[in-house]
Amino acid sequence: MTTKYVLFNFARRKGLVITFMPKPMYQQAGNGMHLHLFLTRNGRNAFYKKGEYGNINELGRMFIGGLLKHGPALSAFTNPSTNSYKRLVPGFEAPVALTYGQGNRASAIRIPRYVSSPAETRFEYRPPDATANPYLCLTAMLLAGIDGVVQKTDPAKDGYGPFDKNIHDESPREPIHFLPRNLDEALDALSADNAFLLRGGIFYRRAPRSMGESQRAGNPIDRTMPHPFEYKLYFNL
């Protein structure tokens, strides 16, 4: 939020206009907001274990599993604008696949190869963009990861990887899960998968029926508007 505020004002002083739109220009790489994640325990990296894949231990893998399992529902928070899904298309190193790996930029989660320090071992969740509300986005991601730990979700057993090659360049043996293709699909996913968000009373559900239903039923022109029309979600902190 601070970065956006400072840059908007700096650009205005210089007579320029900047944008954080996920996909402002056709056939050009978009703007992502990759989020690097790890937990600490007693001041140490809780995800590190030397010799494991990417030096990520079982706790880290379960956290990854939770993010990938709930990835479609998370999209309503991490990618909350119609323009978000103009970026999430194959090509341009866009993270469209609900997979993880060290060298696959099409994966939603990438474990950086360049990190060698135990204290900095981490992974990055690559789908989010700057149209997200960071408070809702980060909270939802944390709850998804915690759910993966609670449920002991194993991303390898569930077919999420690891994939170290671009999935578009090879034929994976397991079927690949993909992120929603548009905001409607993301809202549908959130309607079907939201129990993990209610753990601990952090989020509460305001709508008795599926989230986003009233917005989508309101004005049909919203689906065809050229600007990044945003749907308001029925979740409050």
Would you call 125 helix, strand, or coil by DSSP?
Answer: strand
* The most confident of 103-117, 127-141, 204-218, by mean pLDDT: 127-141
Place of tokens 């915690």: 146
The span from the CA of 74 to the CA of 51, in Å, is 31
The span from the CA of 227 to the CA of 230, in Å, is 9
pTM: 0.85
The answer to whether 191 touches 207, Cβ cutoff 8 Å, is no
The answer to whether 98 touches 110, Cβ cutoff 8 Å, is no
Amino acid, single-letter form, for residue 81:
S
Chain centroid to CA 7? 24
Mean of pLDDT values over 33-55: 95
The answer to whether 219 touches 68, Cβ cutoff 8 Å, is no
Please give the pLDDT value at position 227: 52
The answer to whether 191 touches 210, Cβ cutoff 8 Å, is yes
The span from the CA of 58 to the CA of 155, in Å, is 10
- Which residue in 162, 150, 33, 52 sits closest to 104, CA to CA? 162
What are the φ and ψ backbone dihedral angles of 74, each rounded to 5 degrees? -60, -25
CA torsion through residues 84, 90, 94, 97, sign: positive
- Quote the percentage of the chain above a pLDDT of 90: 64
Cα 104 to Cα 32, 49, 129, 161, 170: the distances in Å are 16, 21, 19, 10, 11
* The most confident of 16-30, 134-148, 160-174, 210-224, by mean pLDDT: 134-148
The span from the CA of 74 to the CA of 92, in Å, is 22
Chain centroid to CA 112? 16
Q: Which residue has the higher pLDDT, 111 or 105?
A: 111
Whether the per-residue pLDDT at 197 is higher than 80: the answer is yes
CA torsion through residues 205, 207, 208, 213, sign: negative
Cα 124 to Cα 57, 60, 195, 216: the distances in Å are 15, 12, 24, 32
